[in-house]
Structures are given as structure tokens and as C-alpha cells.
Amino acid sequence: MSGFSGRKPAAVPAPAARAQRGEGPAFPTRHPGGLSQEDRAGGRFWRFWRFCGSGAALSLLLSSAVLAEEVAPAPRPVVSEIVAEASAALRSSVGVVEAQSQTVLAFQTLGRLAERPVQAGDRVAAGERLARLDQVTLAEDQAAAEAALTSAEVQVKTAEAGLVRAQELRSRGVVPEARLEAARRARDAAAAGLEAARADLSRARDAAGFADLLAPEAGIVLSVLAEPGQVVTAGQPVLAFARGEARDAVIDLPAAEAAALPEGAAFLLEQPGGGPAVTGTLRLVEPVSSSTTRSRRVRIALPEGVAGFRIGSLVHARRAMEGAPLLTLPEVAVFGSPPQVWLVAPEGRAVSALPVTVDGSAGPGRVVITSGLNVGQEIVVRGVHGLKAGTVVGERVQ
């Protein structure tokens, strides 16, 4: 047959065979969009890099935000105080009523206490008898002194008569000169003994007169220090006595506060049981501080004729502040010269320096502010040295 070689045409290699010979993929495929498998691989590679770049950019943005938050300063923690009028307890001190003039009475002679007709708290008039010594003992002492004086007088007369005889005998040459000198010495000794006896009698008579202890003026018996039957010496305390009616309210204040009190400062004095308050005047700040408490004793004179404030009773004393309320702050809240404090703004809580005027102490660790403050303002009282104008502080914790 023409055109036919008798041989079968070469078969087209199967895809699997071509793949075995390394001629290409077993099934060459095409992307629906017309891209080959190689093109698709390259696209995935670039898409991967674009994704990584987007992630890095996002990380940078997040890091920047975190850094921005870290750079912004956090509110500074401090301790603050709301300004308020000082409480009565802060300005009040407890004291006791005492007499302005007190003295201790004693006998001027030795003796046994026979009677003491008064007790603590009794009011007495001037010249009233407060105590008496045993009169029998004093009378015996006076009698003995009188007898001694009589004996001394007799000895003087005898000595004088002996001197006259010795002088006469010496003039005759009967006795030596030494005998005359001895008579003179005896006469002089007897005269000295007479003077001593007279002085003893005078003391005995005075002692008899000192047997009565009299009130030097009208006053109050504060305490009794000796009991009847007790033997007391001259000068030994028998009674504590308050002279007159003038009284003081005595309180103890810190040394700094007492030193800051102006002359004639006014105090309101009240009794614990109630009743109207009276106004007292500063009379004396004792110059010596207590060795234990380091406080100073302050004496406030009560008005004359005021009733109810008995000696020994308790009293509450506080400064009589006129006009503006008394404002105080802790001493550590004030800094700089002239004095300033840190004022906290209600909105934003930023601090600013506020000039103030300090006028003395208001108690342990506190000072009185006379100008620059208003009630209700918030003032930093701890951490003041770590602040500057504009610093934001944390919220106040109640």
C-alpha cells in the first residue's frame, strides 16, 4: 500500500514517562489566570516579604506608642492636707488653778505641836491662829531662863565683892599681884555669864510668844504638813498658805510655743464641768524649762472676783483668737525664704508655690499661718522638696 511503510507511527511519550526522563512535570498545569506554577511561586515569595514588612511596620508603631507612654511622667505620690480651721483640742491645754502668791508657814522655835485648828481648804482672816505649840514646855523653858539669870546676878555680886577685898589686901601688901588678877578675871567671867543669862531669858520669852502661828493676811490654807503631837524644829514647814484672792491658771506648753506668746496674750478659760468661759491674761512664762518634758510653765491671771475657779480645780485654756480663723499646717510643709507652700490645683493636680506668713507655733510640729491660706485648699505636707512648679501629683487618698 502506497504511503504506508508498514511501521507504526512513534507513540507520544506518556506524561509519566516524560517525567521519569526529566523532561518536565508529569502534568504541566496552568493557573486559571494563565500563570505557570513558577510564576505562582514567585508571587507567593513577594507576598510573603510584603507581609513581613507590614508586620515590622506595625511593630515599630506599637513600640513608638509604648515609648510615648513611658516618656509621659506619672503623677508624683505625695501626702497632702486640706486646710481647715484648727480644732479646739489642738489649741487647748489642761491646767490647774493656783494662787498667785503662795508661802509655807513655820514656827520660829522648837516645840511640840499642841493643836492645829485649821484644815486644807479653810479660808482664814488676817491674824487668825493657825497652830499652837505646847505652852507647858515653853513656860518651863522661860522659868529655867529666869532662874539662870538670877544665879548669874548673884555670881556677879560675889565676884565684885571678891575683887574689892583683893584690891584692899593688895594695897596692904598681904596678897600678891596674882591674887588680884584672879579676882578681876572672876568678876569679868561672872559679868559675861550675866549677859548670857539675860539673852537666854529673852529667847525664852520670844519663844513663848512664837508659840502661836498666825495668818499673815487673809487667805486659804492649801495643805497641812504637820500633825498635833509632832515635835517640830524652827523653820520646819507646818502649813502651805495662799495669800489673798488672786489666782492663776497654770498650764504647760512646748518651749517654742511658750516663747512665741506675745506679752499680755488673751486666753479663754473653761472648767471641765461646763459654765461660761472667762478671759484670762498671760502673766508669766517661767524662764526654766522642765528637765523631763522640756516644756515651759505658763501662768494666766484670772479676772478678779470670778466665781467657780477654786484653787486646785482643773481648767481648759486656749488662745483667744479674734477675727480670722486660726489656720495651721505641719511645720515640714513650709519651705523657702520667704515661707512658701505647695498648692495643689483642683483640676489637673499640678502644684504651684504659694507664699504664706508664719506666726509662731500651734503645737508640736505645727505652725500658725496668718495669711496666704484659705479654708478648703489642698497643701502638700510630705515630699515638698522633690517638687517643682507644674509637677503633677497623685490623687488624694482619704
Top pLDDT among 10 and 97 is at: 97
Which CATH number characterizes residue 158's domain?
Answer: 1.10.287
CA dist 321 and 327 (Å) reads: 11
CA dist 7 and 17 (Å) reads: 22
Per-residue pLDDT band for 139 (boundaries 50, 70, 90) equals confident
Residue 284 has pLDDT above 70, yes or no: yes
Per-residue pLDDT band for 376 (boundaries 50, 70, 90) equals confident
- For the chain, what is the domain count? 2
Kindly report the number of other CB atoms within 10 A of residue 60's CB atom: 10
Which CATH number characterizes residue 361's domain?
Answer: 2.40.420.20
- 375 domain-assigned: yes
C-alpha cell at 353: 508655690
pLDDT-wise least confident of 80-89, 198-207, 314-323: 80-89
- 182 domain-assigned: yes
Residues 318-363: pLDDT tens digits?
Answer: 887 655 567 888 888 999 889 999 999 988 899 999 999 887 666 6
Query: Looking at residue 90, what is its pLDDT?
Result: 52
- Tell me which residue range forms the domain holding 369: 79-86+325-386
- 333 domain-assigned: yes
Per-residue pLDDT band for 19 (boundaries 50, 70, 90) equals very low
129 to 17, 105, 223: CA distances (angstroms): 153, 12, 15
Query: Looking at residue 172, what is its pLDDT?
Result: 84
- 61 domain-assigned: no
Give mean pLDDT, residues 4-24. Answer: 49
Domain boundary among 191, 209, 227: 209
Domain boundary among 209, 227, 251: 209
501629683: which residue's cell? 393
Residue 228 has pLDDT above 70, yes or no: yes
- 189 domain-assigned: yes
Residues 62-87: pLDDT tens digits?
Answer: 555 544 455 557 888 888 888 877 65
C-alpha cell at 91: 489649741
H-assigned helices in the chain:
15-20, 37-71, 88-91, 135-172, 177-209, 255-259
Top pLDDT among 44 and 342 is at: 342
Average pLDDT, the chain: 80
- 160 domain-assigned: yes
Residues 333, 341 contacting (CB under 8 angstroms): yes
Query: Looking at residue 63, what is its pLDDT?
Result: 56
Query: Looking at residue 301, what is its pLDDT?
Result: 93
Per-residue pLDDT band for 251 (boundaries 50, 70, 90) equals very high
Per-residue pLDDT band for 298 (boundaries 50, 70, 90) equals very high
Residue 27 has pLDDT above 50, yes or no: no
- 73 domain-assigned: no
Domain boundary among 177, 209, 241: 209
Give mean pLDDT, residues 13-17. Answer: 51
- 30 domain-assigned: no
Residue 395 has pLDDT above 70, yes or no: yes
Top pLDDT among 105 and 208 is at: 105
